[in-house]
Amino acid sequence: MKILLLGGTKDSTNIIEHIKETHDYHIMTTTTTEYGAELARKAGSDEVIARPLPKDEIIEIIKRENFDVLIDATHPFAKHITQTSASIASELEMPYIRFERPTTNLENMDTSHIHYTDSFDEAGKLIESKFSQGNVLHFAGANTMEDILKHVDVGRFYPRILKVESSIEKCEKLGVDPSHIIPMKGAASLEENLELIEKYDAGVMITKESGDVGGVIEKIQAANEKDVAVVMIQRPKIDELNKNDIVSNLEELDIKLKTFFKNR
């Protein structure tokens, strides 16, 4: 069986490792960065493509390589690629799985420091109007910086990003001082977040509601301890998704795969 996996996340590497341990399936993984591709290779992906792919090229690959199933394990905020992958599966009438990590359970946490917004533009406006003291720690990726910096002074802006060429170029274009760039490799621990708040004299941090895998709990815990505001952007709603195509853990993924492949 052949699987095309849209990856680049911790979820996708977990999926690769799990499938390779439990099934004899061939996996091609697509990522937008070489860093993501390297992680996919280490996880055991048979083939890797390390660049953004337009819809037409994904369709061409699926047809040429005769893939049996398409799995979208991209980031919860990668709305466009999820919309695209769902439409591709519909057009080609092929089995499709959207792996969507669960939202963070905050029932037993102090959430008094959290301020929710529906977009990064709203987040920038909120910070400008309510949180003018202290610096801004941006824990939401390089692609979201521009909307924040429409409203927030770049002099108080400290992004934690992957130090890859495309992200560094975005920082240069937006006027972010190189000394303000915080190198990222994976989610930060509570201790690392506390250190960053102190080191950069932060008054507010920006994060996506990216689930436990994205280190949301550790960010909130650090903010609570240091009395720092958390501006949290909520996940986009994707109307094109059929809820029956969504799984949120590896057990559910196995059930779907067995359903697709039981007659093969």
Overall number of domains in the chain: 2
Q: Do 168 and 204 belong to one domain? A: yes
Q: Do 62 and 155 belong to one domain? A: no
Burial of 94 (0-12, 13-18, 19+ CB in 10 A): middle
Give phi and psi for 8, each to the nearest 5. Answer: 100, 5
Question: Is 32 contained in some domain?
Answer: yes
Query: Residue 31 and residue 29: Cα distance in Å, rounded?
Result: 7
Question: Is 21 contained in some domain?
Answer: yes
Question: Is 107 contained in some domain?
Answer: no
pLDDT computed for residue 212 by the predictor: 67
Question: Is 249 contained in some domain?
Answer: yes
Q: Do 136 and 166 belong to one domain? A: yes
Query: Residue 92 and residue 4: Cα distance in Å, rounded?
Result: 14
Q: Do 153 and 206 belong to one domain? A: yes
Q: Do 119 and 229 belong to one domain? A: yes
Question: Is 127 contained in some domain?
Answer: yes
Question: Is 126 contained in some domain?
Answer: yes
Domain CATH number, residue 80: 3.40.50.720
Domain CATH number, residue 166: 3.40.50.150
Give the rounded distance of the alpha carbon of 104 from its chain centre: 14
Q: Do 147 and 221 belong to one domain? A: yes
pLDDT computed for residue 48 by the predictor: 97
pLDDT computed for residue 263 by the predictor: 54
pLDDT computed for residue 155 by the predictor: 97
15 touches 73 (CB < 8 A) = yes
Query: Residue 128 and residue 123: Cα distance in Å, rounded?
Result: 9
Q: How many CB atoms lie within 10 A of CB 36?
A: 21
Q: Do 226 and 131 belong to one domain? A: yes
68 touches 1 (CB < 8 A) = yes
CA distance readout (Å), 82 to 5, 143, 155, 169: 12, 17, 34, 26
Q: Which domain holds residue 80?
A: 2-102+239-261
pLDDT computed for residue 77 by the predictor: 83
Q: Do 150 and 94 belong to one domain? A: no
Q: Do 71 and 98 belong to one domain? A: yes
AA letter at 239: D
Q: Do 36 and 128 belong to one domain? A: no
Question: Is 108 contained in some domain?
Answer: no
Q: Do 160 and 227 belong to one domain? A: yes
Burial of 154 (0-12, 13-18, 19+ CB in 10 A): middle
Q: What is the pLDDT along the chain (264 residues), one digit of tens a residue?
A: 899 999 988 899 999 999 999 988 999 999 988 889 999 999 999 999 999 999 999 999 999 999 999 999 998 888 899 999 999 999 999 999 999 887 778 888 899 999 999 999 999 999 999 999 999 999 998 999 999 999 999 999 999 998 888 899 999 999 999 999 999 877 789 999 999 999 999 999 999 987 766 688 999 999 999 999 999 999 888 877 888 899 999 999 999 998 887 755
Question: Is 109 contained in some domain?
Answer: no
| DSSP codes, 128-166 | HHH--SSEEEEES-GGGHHHHHTTS-GGGEEEEE---HH
Beta bridge partners of 205: 137, 230
95 touches 254 (CB < 8 A) = no
Q: Do 228 and 243 belong to one domain? A: no
